[in-house]
A and B are shown apart, each in its own frame.
Chain A
C-alpha cells in the first residue's frame, strides 16, 4: 500500500523501513508505525477473531480501546497492536483462530448466536451436574484470546520510577500542555503524562484552524516546544495512567523507545494536585454489524491518513454525530479519499462552515440519518443508511464506514480518585459533578470543542492546581475564570443511543461479543441496571477495560426501559485502566535480602541457601537433606553454625528494668552479672511470641536476643506496651552489628581454647554463663554465652560483624584437627528437636500459649504491680482444660517420620505434628506435636493423617521428652 505524500502531521519516517514477519511472510513497515498500522499498510484488514462468535475484527480505534487488534507479538499473546510500536524483526501472529484470521474454521459460531443468549452458561449446561465439567472445557476451548507457552520467558527489561511533584497532569493534549505550562510558571514541579507516544492529543493531526487561524497541529507543536523547554515540566509519553488513588497517588506504565534503558517502566507519582485532561474517545455507533472490518472510528480513519500516511479505504461513508466527523470528512476528501455520503444523526447544530466545505467538494450531507447496517461477509462492502426512525433507507457501496455516535469523556482517572459522576443532559455524557480536593479537570473532557476554550481551560486548571499548592494568588484564578467564561462552552452532545435496528448483531461490547439483543435479554431476566447487565452479559469485562461499552451501556439500559439516562450511572471503573504487562509491575528483579557476614565462606563450603524471612541462610551443607553427617558431627565432634540472624538489642536507660519486666514473662530483676537468663515474651492473650536470652552488662544496661523472625518487630513491641508509662529507656537494634557463631559439640571447648584469649574451662565459664573476652590475639572482642540449644556443649559467640569472618576462619583452622565442619539450619532443627527444645512458629502458632508449650516455669507470678504482658490471660488459661499440649511422639515405623503439619486424628482432628524427623542419633522417627490434652498422656497411641496418604494412617505413641540426654549432662560438660 502506498503511503500518502509527506504531511506535516506525520509521526512516521517513510524513508526508514522496518522489517517484521507475519504469517511466515516478511513484511515491511516504516519507523513510527505501530504493529497495527504496519499490517494495515500491508493490506491486512482482518487482525483476529472475536471471543465468542469468531467474527472477523479489524482496525477500529488506533488506541487499543478494544481487543479487535490483539495479537501475539514475539510470543506474547493479547498484545494491543494499535498501541505497540513496530520494532525490527518482530514476529506477529493471529490469535483465537483455527486456520487464519481471514478463513477461520470456527467462524460458524457466528450462526449459533441464538443458542448463546446472555448468560447462557449461567443458565444452561448445569443439569445434569456431570455435564458442566465437560461443557466448561469445551466452552473454554472454543472461546478465549491468546495462549502463552508454559516455557515462555520474558526477556525484556523492566524498570520502575517513583516521582514526586506538586502538579501531575494526566493527558498531553492542548489542555494538558496548557495546564502544565501554567502550573510550572509558578515554580512548581510538574509531571505530564501522555498515553500516546507524543504530545498533542486531538490537535496533533487536525488541520482545522486554531484561535489564531493557524492549523491546530501547528499550534500543538508550539505548545510542545514550550513544554519541552520548560525546566519545571517532566514529560512522560507513551505512559497511560493505570490507577489513581487516595491522596493523588497516580500510577502509570511507560513503553520504552529504542535507546531507553527499559522496555516497560512502572511509574508511581505522589503529587499534591492532579489535573485530568484526558479528552474524549468516540462513542461507538450501535447498528447491525457495527464492528465489521472496514468500520472504524472517525478519528481512527483521520489519524491513519494524517499520522501514518495511510488512506483508510477507497470509498467511504461517514455516519457521525459531531462536527469532528464533518471536519474529518473534509480533510480525508482533500487527501484523496472518495466520500460517498456523510450521514449526520443530528438534525441541527452543525458547524455550517464545515457543511459548506463538504458541499463544495460535492459530498452529500444527510441530516438526521444514521448507518443501520454494514454489509459484507469479512469486510465492509456497502452500508445501509436510514433515517432515525428507520422509515427511509438507502444503500451505498463503500469499503470504509467511519462511524461515531458522539464523544465519550475519558473519566477513568477521575472516578478512581473518587469524583462524583452524573449524567449531563447538555453533553449527553457522564461528567464529574464533584471533585475531591486537589483534583482539577480541563479540555475536551468537559465537553469543550472550541480550540481557545480548550487551551484556556487547561491554563485555568493549571493555575487552580498552583493555587491549591499556595504558589499563586487566588485572584489570578478568578481573573482567568472570567476569561474562560467568556469563551464558547461545552458543545451539545449527541443523544442517539442506537440506530433503528433489532440489534441482533449490533455490538455494545466488542471484546465479549455482547449485543444490544443481549442487553435486552439481560433486562428481561431482571438484570436491569448496568452493573448487573455487565456481570450477566460480560459487557465491558474484556481487555478494553470497558472503553467501548462504558458510555453506551447505561444509555442503552435507560433507552430499553424507557427511562431517562440520568436514572443510571456507568459501571464501576477499576484499576488498571489499561492492560498492563505483569512484567511492568514486577519492575527490576532485585531480591532485596540480607546476607550474614560469613555468607561467602558458607557458600564456598557447599552451603545450600534458602530464603528465611529477610535473610538468606545456609540450610544444608550437602545434597543429603536429612543432614545425617552434619548431625553426627555435632553429636560426636564439633560443628559451626552461623546464627547471625538472631535479633540482638541493647536496652539502656533508668527504666530499662521496668520495660523488661513488662515485656518478659519471667522476673528480670533477679538477673546477675555473668549469667544469662532464658526468657519468653507473650502477647496479651498469653500466647508466646518470642523467646531469647537476656544478659545484664551494666547498671540499667542489658543485651538481649530475639528470634530471627521477631527481630524487626521488637522495638515497636517494647514501645507499644509501654506507651502510657512515660518510662525512660532506649533500645538499639544491634542485630546486624554482631555476627553469631554457634560452636557446638563435645570438642567445642578444645577448639575455642585455641582461639580465645581467656579461660573457657567449665569452671571458669560454666553452663548458662556470659563472658566477654577477646580472641585472635586481642583483635576480636567476643561476647560469649554457654547455651545448649542443640543439646551439646555449646558456645554462642557474638562478634562484631566486620570481624566475624576472621573469627570464623580462626575457628575453622583451630578445629581442623578435630574434623570441624559447618552445620546448617536443618541440622540444627533436628538436633534441637531431639533435645526437645522448641522453635516458636514451628512448635507454636497464633493460639499457643506459654503453658501449652510446657514453659510455665518461665512465668514469674510474683512480680508485683508491673503488669506483665499476657499474664492476665495466662491466669485464665491455666484452668482451661480444652487446650492443646506439646508432647513428644515416637513413630511406630522408625524409618517413617510424618511431614510437618500432618494431622493427628481419630474421628476428628485432635492436633497436629509440629516437627518430626528421623533421628539418626536415636535411630527412631520422633517429633513434637500439639495435641488435645486428653491425648497428651505418655503412652497414648496416635493416628496421623498425612496428605496423599490414601487413608493409610501413620501410627505414633506419646513419649517423654527430651528424646536425647534427658539429664542435660552433655550441655554442662
Chain B
C-alpha cells in the first residue's frame, strides 16, 4: 500500500445529516463539517461530535486518577467540566472522559484507559426548547429541579441506552443543552428520531462551529 492510499483513507462518522455542508475541514482522517447551510440563527441545533475523543476509565481506585489533569467527580452522576474536558462519573469504578474541545495529548498508557471513541457516537442538542424535544424522546427527568448541570443520566433516549449529560438548562423556555453518547450502530436511527422529535421546534443539524461557540457558555459543577 502506498502513501497516497493512506492519505486517501477517510474515517466515516456514524452520524449523517441530510443537510448541505457549508464549510468543512479535514481533521485526522475525519471530514468535519463546521457549518451547514441553513442552520438558522435561533436554534435549537443538533451537532455531530462523534469525532471528538472519548475514553473509558475503569479502576478500583478511579478517584485517584486525573485524566487530562482533571480530577474524577466523587459521586456517580456527577460531572466535571474543565478546559473543555468533561468527566462523567458513572459508578464506583468507572468514569467517562469526553474531550469536548477536541484537543488531546493522547490517551494515558495506564491499563485503566480504553479508547471508546469508535464504540459510540456523540451528539449535542442545544438551544431553545431543547428539553421539550428531550421529553419526546425519553422518560428520564432531565429537567429535574434537584440537580444542577452538568450532571449525568444513564438511560434510554429514543429507546436506546445512552449516557446523557445535561450540560445547560435555562428557566422559562425549556432551553438548554444536552450531550450524549450511545452505541455507534444506532447513529442513523438516533438522528432520524431526534430530528423528527425536534421538527415542530425548528431543530436543525448544525456544524461543529455552532457547538464550539456554545461550549464556553457551559459552567462546571
Are A and B co-members of a single complex?
yes
List chain A positions with a Cβ less than 8 A from chain B: 159-164, 166, 187, 189, 231, 261, 268, 270, 588, 590-597, 599, 614-615, 644, 650, 652-653, 698, 700-701, 728, 730, 732-738, 755, 757, 775-780, 800-806, 810
- Taking a contact as CB atoms under 8 Å apart, the answer to whether A736 and B12 are in contact is no
Q: Name the distance in Å between A185's Cβ and chain B's nearest Cβ.
A: 15
Q: Which listed residue, B94, B111, B193, touches A588 by the CB 8 Å rule?
A: B193
- Taking a contact as CB atoms under 8 Å apart, the answer to whether A734 and B2 are in contact is no
B12 neighbours in A (Cβ, 8 Å): 597, 802-806
A615 neighbours in B (Cβ, 8 Å): 185
Is residue B11 contacting chain A, with contact meaning CB distance below 8 A? Answer: yes
B118 neighbours in A (Cβ, 8 Å): 734, 736-738, 800-802
A599 neighbours in B (Cβ, 8 Å): 188
B144 neighbours in A (Cβ, 8 Å): 164
B141 neighbours in A (Cβ, 8 Å): 164, 270
B4 neighbours in A (Cβ, 8 Å): 777
Q: Which listed residue, B1, B119, B184, touches A757 by the CB 8 Å rule?
A: B1
A737 neighbours in B (Cβ, 8 Å): 116, 118-119, 184
- Taking a contact as CB atoms under 8 Å apart, the answer to whether B135 and A732 are in contact is no
Q: How far is the CA of A593 from the CA of B191 in the complex (A)?
A: 12
- Taking a contact as CB atoms under 8 Å apart, the answer to whether A777 and B119 are in contact is no
Question: Which residues of chain B in 204-218 are interfacial with respect to chain A, using CB atoms and an 8 Å cutoff?
Answer: none
Q: How far is the CA of A588 from the CA of B141 in the complex (A)?
A: 20
Q: Name the distance in Å between A265's Cβ and chain B's nearest Cβ.
A: 9
B10 neighbours in A (Cβ, 8 Å): 806
Q: Which of B6, B10, B112 has the most CB of A within 10 A?
A: B6
Q: How far is the CA of A755 from the CA of B145 in the complex (A)?
A: 56
Question: Which residues of chain B in 1-37 are interfacial with respect to chain A, using CB atoms and an 8 Å cutoff?
Answer: 1-6, 9-14, 29-30
Q: Which listed residue, A595, A732, A734, A806, touches B9 by the CB 8 Å rule?
A: A806
Q: Which listed residue, A231, A590, A595, A735, touches B119 by the CB 8 Å rule?
A: A735
A728 neighbours in B (Cβ, 8 Å): 60
The interface bits of chain B over 98-121 (1 if a CB of A lies within 8 angstroms of the residue's CB, else 0) are: 000000000000011010101110
- Taking a contact as CB atoms under 8 Å apart, the answer to whether B94 and A161 are in contact is no
B11 neighbours in A (Cβ, 8 Å): 802-803, 806
- Taking a contact as CB atoms under 8 Å apart, the answer to whether B9 and A163 are in contact is no
A777 neighbours in B (Cβ, 8 Å): 1-6, 9
Question: Which residues of chain B in 29-72 are interfacial with respect to chain A, using CB atoms and an 8 Å cutoff?
Answer: 29-30, 56, 58-60
Q: How far is the CA of A183 from the CA of B139 in the complex (A)?
A: 22
- Taking a contact as CB atoms under 8 Å apart, the answer to whether B185 and A734 are in contact is no
Q: How far is the CA of A802 from the CA of B120 in the complex (A)?
A: 11
Q: How far is the CA of A609 from the CA of B12 in the complex (A)?
A: 21
The interface bits of chain B over 127-142 (1 if a CB of A lies within 8 angstroms of the residue's CB, else 0) are: 0000000011111110
Q: How far is the CA of A595 from the CA of B191 in the complex (A)?
A: 13
A268 neighbours in B (Cβ, 8 Å): 139
Q: How far is the CA of A800 from the CA of B6 in the complex (A)?
A: 15
Q: Which listed residue, A590, A650, A730, A810, touches B94 by the CB 8 Å rule?
A: A730
Q: A161-B135, A189-B145 are in contact. Are A594 and B1 (CB under 8 A)?
A: no
A590 neighbours in B (Cβ, 8 Å): 158, 189, 192-193, 196
Q: Which listed residue, A591, A652, A730, touches B189 by the CB 8 Å rule?
A: A591
Q: How far is the CA of A163 from the CA of B136 in the complex (A)?
A: 8
B197 neighbours in A (Cβ, 8 Å): 588
B13 neighbours in A (Cβ, 8 Å): 802
Q: How far is the CA of A166 from the CA of B60 in the complex (A)?
A: 37
Q: Name the distance in Å between B51's Cβ and chain A's nearest Cβ.
A: 8
- Taking a contact as CB atoms under 8 Å apart, the answer to whether B116 and A732 are in contact is yes
Give 3 nearest A-B pairs by CB, closest first.
A594-B185, A777-B6, A737-B119
- Taking a contact as CB atoms under 8 Å apart, the answer to whether A730 and B58 are in contact is yes
- Taking a contact as CB atoms under 8 Å apart, the answer to whether B111 and A652 are in contact is yes
Q: Which listed residue, B120, B135, B158, touches A163 by the CB 8 Å rule?
A: B135
CB closest chain-A residue, reference B114: A732
Q: How far is the CA of A644 from the CA of B14 in the complex (A)?
A: 14
CB closest chain-B residue, reference A804: B12
The interface bits of chain B over 172-216 (1 if a CB of A lies within 8 angstroms of the residue's CB, else 0) are: 100000000001111111101100110110000000000000000
Q: Name the distance in Å between B186's Cβ and chain A's nearest Cβ.
A: 6
CB closest chain-B residue, reference A259: B200
A594 neighbours in B (Cβ, 8 Å): 183, 185-186, 189
Q: Which listed residue, B29, B56, B111, B120, touches A779 by the CB 8 Å rule?
A: B29
**Sample of 16 more A-B contacts, CB < 8 Å, known A801-B14, A802-B29:** A270-B141, A592-B160, A592-B186, A592-B189, A593-B186, A595-B188, A653-B60, A734-B119, A736-B118, A777-B1, A777-B2, A779-B5, A801-B119, A803-B11, A805-B12, A806-B10
- Taking a contact as CB atoms under 8 Å apart, the answer to whether B14 and A261 are in contact is no
Question: Which residues of chain B in 64-99 are interfacial with respect to chain A, using CB atoms and an 8 Å cutoff?
Answer: 93-94
- Taking a contact as CB atoms under 8 Å apart, the answer to whether B116 and A596 are in contact is no
Q: A270-B141, A777-B2 are in contact. Are A162 and B135 (CB under 8 A)?
A: yes
Is residue B122 contacting chain A, with contact meaning CB distance below 8 A? Answer: no
Q: Name the distance in Å between A165's Cβ and chain B's nearest Cβ.
A: 9
List chain B positions with a Cβ less than 8 A from chain A: 1-6, 9-14, 29-30, 56, 58-60, 93-94, 111-112, 114, 116, 118-120, 135-141, 143-145, 158-160, 172, 183-190, 192-193, 196-197, 199-200
A701 neighbours in B (Cβ, 8 Å): 111
CB closest chain-A residue, reference B200: A261
- Taking a contact as CB atoms under 8 Å apart, the answer to whether B184 and A592 are in contact is no
- Taking a contact as CB atoms under 8 Å apart, the answer to whether A776 and B9 are in contact is yes
Q: Name the distance in Å between A814's Cβ and chain B's nearest Cβ.
A: 10
- Taking a contact as CB atoms under 8 Å apart, the answer to whether B199 and A775 are in contact is no
B119 neighbours in A (Cβ, 8 Å): 732-737, 801
CB closest chain-A residue, reference B10: A806
A810 neighbours in B (Cβ, 8 Å): 1, 5
Q: A270-B141, A736-B185, A802-B13 are in contact. Are A159 and B135 (CB under 8 A)?
A: no
Q: Name the distance in Å between A251's Cβ and chain B's nearest Cβ.
A: 11
B56 neighbours in A (Cβ, 8 Å): 732
A650 neighbours in B (Cβ, 8 Å): 114
Q: How far is the CA of A597 from the CA of B114 in the complex (A)?
A: 21
26 A-B pairs, CB-CB below 8 angstroms? Answer: A166-B145, A187-B145, A189-B143, A189-B145, A270-B141, A590-B189, A590-B192, A592-B186, A592-B193, A593-B189, A653-B60, A700-B111, A730-B58, A732-B56, A734-B119, A735-B183, A737-B119, A755-B1, A757-B1, A777-B2, A778-B1, A778-B6, A802-B13, A802-B118, A803-B12, A806-B11
Q: How far is the CA of A131 from the CA of B36 in the complex (A)?
A: 71
Q: How far is the CA of A776 from the CA of B160 in the complex (A)?
A: 34
Q: How far is the CA of A597 from the CA of B10 in the complex (A)?
A: 13
Q: Which listed residue, B2, B29, B143, B185, touches A595 by the CB 8 Å rule?
A: B185
Q: Name the distance in Å between A918's Cβ and chain B's nearest Cβ.
A: 33
B136 neighbours in A (Cβ, 8 Å): 159-162, 588
B30 neighbours in A (Cβ, 8 Å): 802
Q: Name the distance in Å between B75's Cβ and chain A's nearest Cβ.
A: 19
Q: How far is the CA of A288 from the CA of B188 in the complex (A)?
A: 63
Q: How far is the CA of A777 from the CA of B172 in the complex (A)?
A: 54
Q: How far is the CA of A765 from the CA of B186 in the complex (A)?
A: 35
Q: Name the distance in Å between A285's Cβ and chain B's nearest Cβ.
A: 44
Q: How far is the CA of A595 from the CA of B136 in the complex (A)?
A: 23
Q: Which of B59, B93, B145 has the most CB of A within 10 A?
A: B145
CB closest chain-B residue, reference A645: B185
Q: How far is the CA of A590 from the CA of B192 in the complex (A)?
A: 8
A653 neighbours in B (Cβ, 8 Å): 58, 60, 111
Q: How far is the CA of A278 from the CA of B94 in the complex (A)?
A: 47
CB closest chain-A residue, reference B159: A592
A700 neighbours in B (Cβ, 8 Å): 111
- Taking a contact as CB atoms under 8 Å apart, the answer to whether B189 and A261 are in contact is no
Q: How far is the CA of A794 from the CA of B91 in the complex (A)?
A: 40
Q: Name the distance in Å between A780's Cβ and chain B's nearest Cβ.
A: 7
Q: Which of B1, B4, B120 has the most CB of A within 10 A?
A: B1
Q: How far is the CA of A595 from the CA of B187 in the complex (A)?
A: 8
B93 neighbours in A (Cβ, 8 Å): 730
Q: A268-B139, A588-B197 are in contact. Are A803 and B9 (CB under 8 A)?
A: yes
Q: How far is the CA of A730 from the CA of B95 in the complex (A)?
A: 12
Q: Which listed residue, B29, B116, B139, B159, touches A270 by the CB 8 Å rule?
A: B139
